[in-house]
Structure 1
Amino acid sequence: MAQQAMPVRTPRLGRAIGPEPSTVSGVVLLLPAGDEASTRRPSPMMATASVRALGRRLVRAGRTEGLAAHVVHYRYRGWGTEARLARDAEWAADEVVRRYGDVPVCLAGLHMGARAALHAGGHEAVNSVLAVAPWLPEEDVAAPPEPVKQLAGRRVLIVHGTNDERVDPELSFRFAARAKKTNPDICRFEVHADRHGLTQYRDEVHALASDFVMGALFGRAFSRPVEDALAAPPPLGLRMPLASGFGVARPQRGV
């Protein structure tokens, strides 16, 4: 009996988060976390929960500008030896061009998805990259370092908790320092005492992400901390502390 061929897996874009604008002027591609080597299919709900929460915040902030946000559904859960997640991110950027035409794209990734966003940042449609708690490999003299030249001409924001128990935050600092040599438009914020999931200061992280994405995609003025971080020479602009309460609305007294 002839063996049945395994079906070819393809990446796909999830439905637009929230109401899709009648005219799309910018797109955020949300890249979920993944694993190093797994060939299993990602679990749709578990894998996308964190990026969907971020996407909802971004869509609310960019509704008047015509922002669309889509989750990228990978072919496989693992990065593997072929950088599968980065290839899927590149496919997704091509799909945005096919659907929406010449609009700016921000790649926004978490953990292994952040690594994919950084790798795929050189796509011609991408003008910005948001990397939250990026998974980056340990430095090895026998292996080539993570590429950075593809990020030239893109605005890049990296956010990392100083108590990340799964990925050494110093790896993202060293990556940012190398990237800063060829791309001045990169900054990095440290979330002091927060861990890998950045749950303790999630509101502040989402506010920072919104500030950056609205500025990068639509030309809104950056907040003073982001502006200062982009302008500051290393290491200052790469170890910018994220202030508690950043961008979080506080109830007025007597209201």
Structure 2
Amino acid sequence: MDTTKNRQRTPELRTLSEHPAGTPVRAVVLMLPGGAVTGHGRASRLAALTLHSPARRLVGAGREAGVKVVQLRYRYRGWNGDAADTLVDTLWALEELRREHGDVPVALFGNSLGGRAAFRAAGHRNVVAVTGVAPWLPTGEPVEQLAGRDVLIIHGDRDRSDAGAAESLAYAERARTVTALRRYELAGAGHFLLPRAEDAWAAATAFTLAALTRTGPADLPAEDSVAPLRTLLPVGYANGR
């Protein structure tokens, strides 16, 4: 039920990494969890927990480079049609981060519902990279805001949810006309990435950190020459990373 009290909620930013006093923040990863198509209930805690593994990877690998890892808690569980509540919260978070840290580069890291918000918010002045893991990219989503950004999509090839693989493939085909974009598929994985989640997180975090720190390209598999946007991420990719 939508109530006045619900409408007074505010989004929250949770810092996941630690930086000793006096250590400058040189870049930020903004993590955007999943949710629902519609709903004004509280944001899903389970969706937030889903990002625990990639957050841990980002915190550990990004510490020396001064990368701050932050996770957004939305006001509401759902996108909610034209209100685009998840996008509104994401843009709020980007402005809060700019106010606190200035114009440092920001990478958006979105899962499912959070993937849609990440791609929509990519035009913000501080965003340099966007990663979507099983992103919800319905027909008609704009792509022009991705120009000049590094972009990665990872999707299970058996994902037939509202955030299905077919939709992200169609989106990637359009988006590749405006920016460099890579897309990988996980053979046999559905929306929750099982049993390939760690492979997905390993590739997504490697890409994100490489895009932020400009230390060279991420060590990702070469694209399939026949179907580059359907390149398979090898089983066991996460081993040793």
TM-score (norm 1): 0.85
2:195 is the counterpart of 1:200 = yes
**Match of 1:77?**
77
Q: CA deviation at 1:90?
A: 1.0
Q: Which residue number corresponds to residue 237 of structure 1?
A: 228
Q: Distance in 1 between matches of 2:33 and 2:228?
A: 26
Matches within 5 A, 1:51-66: 51-66=51-66
Contact 1:162 1:190 in 2 (8 A): yes
Q: Does the 8 Å contact 2:29/2:108 carry over to 1?
A: yes
The equivalences for 1:1-255 within 5 A come to 6=5, 8-14=8-14, 16-20=15-19, 22-43=23-44, 45-81=45-81, 82-137=83-138, 139=139, 145-166=140-161, 167-183=163-179, 185-225=180-220, 228-229=222-223, 236-249=227-240
Gaps of 5+ in 1: 140-144, 251-255
1:8 CA drift (Å):
2.0
The RMSD of aligned alpha carbons is 2.0
Shift of 1:224: 4.8
Identify if the C-alpha distance between structure 1 residues 66 and 178 changes in structure 2 by more than 3 Å, giving closer, same or farther.
Answer: same
C-alpha distance in 2 between matches for 1:108 and 1:248: 21
- State which drifts further: 5-14 or 213-222: 5-14
Rounded Cα–Cα distance in structure 2 between residues aligned with 1:172 and 1:148 = 12
Aligned residue type for 2:111 = L
C-alpha contact 2:147 2:178 (8 A) present in aligned 1: yes
Deviations 1:25-60 (A, max 9, x none): 1111110101111011214x3231012321111111
CA distance in 2, matches of 1:216, 1:194: 26
Gaps of 5+ in 2: none
Amino acid at match of 1:34: G
Checking the alignment, whether the CA contact within 8 Å between 1:52 and 1:71 is kept in structure 2 is no
Larger radius of gyration: 1
Instruction: Give 1:172's aligned amino acid.
Output: S
> How far apart in 2 are the matches of 1:84 and 1:90?
10
**Structure 2 Cα separation of the partners of residues 97 and 149 of structure 1:** 22
Letter in 1 for 2:156: G
Q: In 1, distance between residues paired with 2:119 and 2:90?
A: 10
> Identity over the aligned pairs, expressed in percent?
38
Aligned letter for 2:66?
G
TM-score, normalised via structure 2 length: 0.90
